[in-house]
Amino acid sequence: MTSDNRDTAVAWRFHDATKYCAGRDESGAEWFGMGTPPHVEPSIWQQDWSLEPYPFKVYETLPPLEIPHELAPSPRPALQAIARTGAEADATALPDRAALARIGLLSNGLMGRHARTARGGTVEFRTAGGTGARYHLEVYFVCADLPDLPAGVYQYAAHDHSLRQLRAGDFRGVLVDATGGEPAVTRAPVILALTSTFWRNAWRYKARAYRHAFWDAGTALTNVLAVAAAGDLGARVVMGYADAPVNALLGVDGRDEAVIALCAIGRATEAAPPALEVPPLALPTRSISPRQVEFPQIQILHTASGLASGAEAVAWRAEPLRRPPPEPAGAVVALRPLPEPAWSGVPIEDVIFGRRSTRHYAADVPIPFDAFSTLLELSSRGIDADCLAADSPPLHDRYLIVNNVEGLAPGVYVHHRGLAAIELLREGDFRAQAQRLACLQGYAADAHVNCYSLASLRPVFERYGNRGYRLAQLEASLYSGKLHLATRPFRLGAVGSTSLDDEVTEFFSPHAAGKSYLFVVVFGRRRPASAP
């Protein structure tokens, strides 16, 4: 690890400075701010609309390369695909141009749905949800020669569903070196690189955009993993890489736009060739704002969580954190997931194009216990990642506020993944508290379940340094993203949310004492917005 990465006071400072909390103004009225008392600031920036960032990266001089728009149905149905980790040995397909089209479109492409904003603008929704629809991610592919696409570095251009070729040639060796020879990267015909252009989100959310980078990356990568699994492609998330050479390969500066995750896709029999020279790129792109406002905490943590070389990446992932599974201390309820043959056969393409954030729930009609059980179980089987142990629980624990599940007492539960059970921590009606924790957003009270991910960050930081902050946010988002996506085949809906950090920990304590809020997804039975 770099000495910067080891100084985890940086991650703690960032975490404390970007918490949402409640305060009172002089008149005694409550307001929500960002920070930790007494250092609290308004949580939203969004002051100068002339600076509102353009949500697409458009290369001005590169011609679009056509890719298929029509998607043939994938062989494996959505739920089976979502449940996969990416490591399954039978995933032996090799990616081609259509696979890249499918992955780009279904993770960061246009949904074909738009809304007018209060100011008369237009939001074009993407296939993966994103905090405040302030889309800030870009997808790149670093490819070997594929059957119908020459080797190169490509951007998936969301605005016109095409590829832009940034470099010609097989540059995968650069990523092999940057990851210190990570085995999946070495054998993958395609490595997807996900970047965040932080300002596109920070314009509204200030420094909390750095958390959102990994929340939204997890949401988009959920789709990547599911689409890959549906097409029999192996996939591994890779968080251990030297940042600078990866950014240089894509021609991004690592500051305004930076690589935040890699995903190795497919398994070839031959390893990538040695790294080619990487000359600088000078490709003009459309300006996204006349100027941008600095939120220095983003740069401070991003720099302090960097890795400097492939050797550092090897050391960083060498001993994944293995924490003991939390033991139940009270009564547990066994989950009753549906057997896989009984799962819906709806294809992943339909699930992704049919998904929307659900903010209206039929609060009084329970959801079935078997659907609830299946969703918890299939979304927590794990993800294949370079730096996580497959035989260990995830870094986070799942806490549930159950409002209305058939046959289950309303109350607060913790999920014991290894036991396929939930443990009742507190029985009662906690709808009002759920709404408060979600910054007073009413959908949390109406939804049937609020599923919170919390983690003890101290051991995560001890093992992974500041980069553990990236990893913890991403991992929680991936698990929650799977849950969100999987609701649709059950005719349920979900929405990611934001929450009042320390109040969340207090609410789930004493069980959650010392843990930090990372992510929440709420889900339940949808009702039309107009219905009473």
Ligand X SMILES: Cc1cc2nc3c(=O)[nH]c(=O)nc-3n(C[C@H](O)[C@H](O)[C@H](O)COP(=O)(O)O)c2cc1C
Residue 97 as a binder of ligand X (CB under 6 A): the answer is: no
Angle at 150 between CA 145 and CA 155, to 5 degrees: 105
Residue 33 as a binder of ligand X (CB under 6 A): the answer is: no
- Report the greatest alpha carbon distance in the chain: 69
The smaller minimum CB distance to ligand X, of residues 215 and 461, is found at: 215
- Distance CA(398)–CA(504), nearest Å, equals 12
Exactly one of 85, 305, 497, 505 binds ligand X (CB under 6 A); that residue is 497
**Segment lying near ligand X (by CB under 6 A), choices 32-40, 188-196, 228-236, 493-501:** 493-501
Minimum CB distance to ligand X, residue 170 (Å)? 34
| C-alpha dist (Å) from residue 499 to 158, 193, 439 | 30, 29, 6
Here's the x/- map for ligand X, 292-331, by CB under 6 A: it reads as: ----------------------------------------
Phi, psi of 140, deg, nearest 5: -125, 155
Residue 223 as a binder of ligand X (CB under 6 A): the answer is: no
Residue 158 as a binder of ligand X (CB under 6 A): the answer is: no
Residue 353 as a binder of ligand X (CB under 6 A): the answer is: no
Here's the x/- map for ligand X, 116-155, by CB under 6 A: it reads as: ---------x---xxxxx----------------------
Residue 347 as a binder of ligand X (CB under 6 A): the answer is: no
User: DSSP E strands: which ranges in 92-203?
Assistant: 110-116, 122-126, 137-143, 152-157, 162-168, 190-197
How remote is the C-alpha of 430 from its chain's centroid? 27
Here's the x/- map for ligand X, 197-216, by CB under 6 A: it reads as: ------------------xx
User: DSSP E strands: which ranges in 118-208?
Assistant: 122-126, 137-143, 152-157, 162-168, 190-197
Using DSSP, state whether 387 is helix, strand or coil.
Answer: coil
Residue 496 as a binder of ligand X (CB under 6 A): the answer is: yes
Q: What is the 3-state secondary structure (H, E, C) of 404-455?
A: CECCCCCEEEEEEHHHCEEEEEEECCCHHHHHHHCCCCCHHHHCCEEEEEEE
Residue 498 as a binder of ligand X (CB under 6 A): the answer is: yes
Exactly one of 356, 381, 458, 527 binds ligand X (CB under 6 A); that residue is 356
Position 355, amino acid: R
Here's the x/- map for ligand X, 440-459, by CB under 6 A: it reads as: -x------------------
The smaller minimum CB distance to ligand X, of residues 221 and 300, is found at: 221
Residue 107 as a binder of ligand X (CB under 6 A): the answer is: no
Residue 505: how many CA atoms within 13 Å on its side-chain side? 16
The smaller minimum CB distance to ligand X, of residues 295 and 443, is found at: 443
Total residues contacting ligand X by CB under 6 A comes to 17
Minimum CB distance to ligand X, residue 496 (Å)? 3
- Contact yes or no for 184/262 (Cβ under 8 A): no
- Distance CA(396)–CA(489), nearest Å, equals 26
Q: Which tokens belong to 241?
A: 């890489």
The smaller minimum CB distance to ligand X, of residues 171 and 443, is found at: 443
Residue 357 as a binder of ligand X (CB under 6 A): the answer is: yes
Residue 32 as a binder of ligand X (CB under 6 A): the answer is: no
Residues that bind ligand X (CB under 6 A): 125, 129-133, 215-216, 219, 356-357, 359, 441, 495-498
